[in-house]
Every structure is written in structure tokens, then in C-alpha cells.
Amino acid sequence: MPIIVQKFGGTSVATQEKRDQVAKKVKNVLDQGYQVVVVVSAMGRLGEPYATDTLIKLARGIVNQIGPRELDLLMSCGEIISTVIMVQTLEKHGIKATAFTGGQAGIITEHDFNNARIKEIKPTAILKCLEEGRVAVVAGFQGVTADGEITTLGRGGSDTTGAALGVALKAEVVEIYTDVDGVMTADPRLVPQAKPLEVMTYQELCEMAHLGAKVVHPRAVEIAMEGRIPLKIKSTFSDGEGTLITDGTPIGKIEIRKDRVVTGIAHLAEMALVKIHSETDMNESGKVLQVFEEMAAAKISVDMIQVAPFQISFIITQQLADKATTVLKNLKLQAEIETGFAKVAIVGSGMRGVPGVMAKMVRGLRRLNISIYHSTDSHTNISCLVKQTEMVKALQALHEEFELA
Ligand code: ADP
Ligand code: MG
């Protein structure tokens, strides 16, 4: 029998009404003759009793410091609670189901707490459960080390669990269910005109996710791509087809439009721009190497990097601005760090080699008098740094300029 993996995010399991919708989605594919593995996130957001951030607040309320091992043990609880509540919900709808922690599902990770990488999956218990005609409900975002320590997989980890299980079980498809109708041309919370995409490539989605579209985690997309498992992003609350993610070859009537230069727009808010100047050549003085080595040592991730002999510039998240200031002061460098920026990016596999895309981007921004403070590009994206206060306006301007509505 073919297997389907369905992952339901925090937005889909937050209330009993929503969990009943989840049961309907599961029943649908069971009725079509699939064996089903359900991956769940924790229920709700900060403030709600079983949300991960609520549990962390509870522990930090006693002593702010918490060790990485204990943090993972705590953070794994939200998803475990969610599996049992989901099993109860499925039983209510007449569906037989068994709950699994990540470890019980055979998800073995490296020994790196808080951001563990999956090493291998031993799906024996899951397969046995499916053979018995039961739905396997697996806690997302977690695994276990070879020596039995509970780990978590980092931000967006439930998406990763879903994709990795899909590959290990040779699933026909991995469906990521969320609260929007699929991957949209831009974040619908900021661009109301955004519309769902019917189809896009793994590369495009991966790029959009890296550039800030939080609808799915980039690692999950990479795993599905490497394992050649089709991915679908769908809404728990509607019957739309959602977005099919493929390697670009047409499937039936679904094909990526050849004339599509820009597929979507992504953004990263609250960034800081770092500019380092020097009167002397920083290649020769070794300062270029020192800057990036010291940033790495301080665990500051840098982006939109430009290096020239007398100027280095890059962006970092605003939260790390003070830390970066200290690092650069210690290196005795002349630096300016300005906060209050956002990165807006256009993404599309179709822009490779097409002239005039940057001109169009600048035209769109200029129409609304939006200044560009920094930019970078690759074969499949162009990113511009704008003032945070102009981010939403910029997203809407680009959406219109590239006729994505
Ligand atoms: P889940 O709890 O299901 O994992 P997330 O909050 O992680 O849900 O992701 C869904 C949200 O991602 C949507 O509500 C939407 O606001 C946001 N989002 C950002 N960019 C996009 C995009 N391009 N397409 C769809 N959703 C997007
Ligand atoms: Mg998510």
C-alpha cells in the first residue's frame, strides 16, 4: 500500500475544532487507500498552556539559565502531548492510531542539542504500526541520540521530521499542512493580494524559505529534494490543491510557466547593516580574514556580503548588533552599524540570464520613492536592503511590478 506523510503545524493543531479538521484530512487519504503517518507540532503559541515557548518561560522563570540537554528534554514535551491529543482526536473520528515520540519513531540524531541533525531513521516500529492498519502519529521536531538522549531539530523542525520520514518510508508524497492555501507569491499577512502558487521547484522554495518565507523550513525542502519525494504545501482549513513542489518536470497538466521570471517575493525584517572602512588595504593587512573569523567565533551569521580593499559590508540580524559592535571594536576597526533595515528579495528560477530584472526591481521601488541601501544577487534571486519602515510598501510595490497578483 502507498504511504503518505502529513505534517500539521502549530497553526493546525491549536484548538479542538482545528484538530477535528486534521482528522478529516487524515480520513480523506485513508479512504483513498493510503497508509498514513501524521507528524504534529506542539499546540499553540506562547501563552497557551502546552506551547513550547510557554514551557520555556516556565523553566526560565525559576532560573534564567537552562542547560542544552534539559532545554531539549523540555522542548520535546509540547510535541509529545500533541501526539496523544491527536490520537484521541483520531479515535473520536473512528480512526485507529498510535502515538510515537521521535525516538520511538526511529529518528536517530547527532549528539548536538537544540539543533540536532538527523543521522538515520529506523522506521521499523512505524512500519509495523501501518501494517496493523493504524495511523502512526509522530512527534515532530525531535529525535534521540544513539545513546538515548532526547534532542530537538531546531527551528521548523517538524517540517524536517515530515520530510525525513517521507524519504525513509519512500512515501508517495509529503504533505505539509498549514493555515494558508499553499506557498503564496508573498507573505499574505503583509501582501493581501498574494495568491497561492500551483507549482514551483524545490530550488525556488528552498531559496524563498532561506530568504524568509517561513511557510516551510528550507532543510525540509532539501531533504525532500535529495530523496526525490514530491512535497505539497496545503491548507488544513480548505480543500484547495495547494502548491506542488517538484524538480521542474511537468506532472500531468501541471507545468511551470516558461515565461515566469519571478515566482515569489520574500522578506527578512529587523536587520542591521554593518559597514567597515579602512584607509589601508584590508586584504593585505589580513583584516578581511579577521573580520569573518571573529564574526564566526561570536556565532554571528553574516549575509549580503561585499568585500573591497577599503570597505567591507554585510548585514546581520538586528538582535546581534551590540555583539557585533564589541567584536569590531576589539579588532580596532572603524565600523558603522545601523539598525532598522529589512531585506526584500525577488525569487525565481526563470530569471537566470534574463536581462532587465534588476531594472524592473529598481523601477518598482522607485515608483514609491523607496531607497536601496545594499543589494546582492544570485542566479535565482535579487535582494535589496530597504528601511524597515518601508518594507511592507516595498513588498507590495514589487508584487505589483512583477504582476504576481
Ligand atoms: P505552521 O504552524 O503550520 O508551521 P507557520 O506559521 O510556520 O505555520 O507558517 C505559515 C505562515 O507562513 C503563514 O501563516 C504565512 O503568514 C507565512 N508565510 C510567509 N511567507 C509565506 C509565503 N510566501 N507563502 C505562504 N505563507 C507564508
Ligand atoms: Mg512552520
pLDDT digits (tens, 9 = 90+) for 208-228: 999 999 999 999 999 999 999
With CA atoms as reference, report the closest residue to 183 among 76, 266, 298.
266
C-alpha cell at 117: 541533525
> Quick one: pLDDT at residue 258?
67
What is the C-alpha to C-alpha distance for residues 295 and 98, in angstroms, rounded to an integer? 46
Q: What average pLDDT does the segment 318-328 reach? A: 96
| pLDDT cut 70: percent of the chain above it | 98
pLDDT, tens digit, 9 for 90 and up, residues 7-19? 999 999 999 999 9
Q: Domain coordinates of the chain in residue numbers?
A: 3-179, 264-401
Q: Of all atoms in ligand 1, which is nearest to the CA of residue 176?
A: 3
Strands 334-347 and 264-277: antiparallel
Q: What average pLDDT does the segment 245-265 reach? A: 79
What is the C-alpha to C-alpha distance for residues 379 and 23, in angstroms, rounded to an integer? 42
Q: What average pLDDT does the segment 363-379 reach? A: 96
Residue 250: pLDDT over 90: no
Residue 93: pLDDT over 70: yes
With CA atoms as reference, report the closest residue to 339 among 354, 321, 323.
321
Q: Of all atoms in ligand 1, which is nearest to the CA of residue 265?
A: 23
To the question of domain 3-179 being in CATH 3.40.1160.10, the answer is yes
Q: Which fold has domain 264-401?
A: VC0802-like (3.30.2130)
Q: With a 6 A CB cut-off, is 214 part of the ligand 1 pocket?
A: yes
Which pTM was predicted? 0.92
Per-residue pLDDT band for 130 (boundaries 50, 70, 90) equals very high
Candidate of 187, 399, 404 to mutate for ligand 1, largest count of ligand atoms within 8 Å of Cβ: 187
Residue 249: pLDDT over 80: no
Task: Compute, in angstroms, the gap from residue 214 CA to the centroid of ligand 1.
Answer: 5
Per-residue pLDDT band for 393 (boundaries 50, 70, 90) equals very high
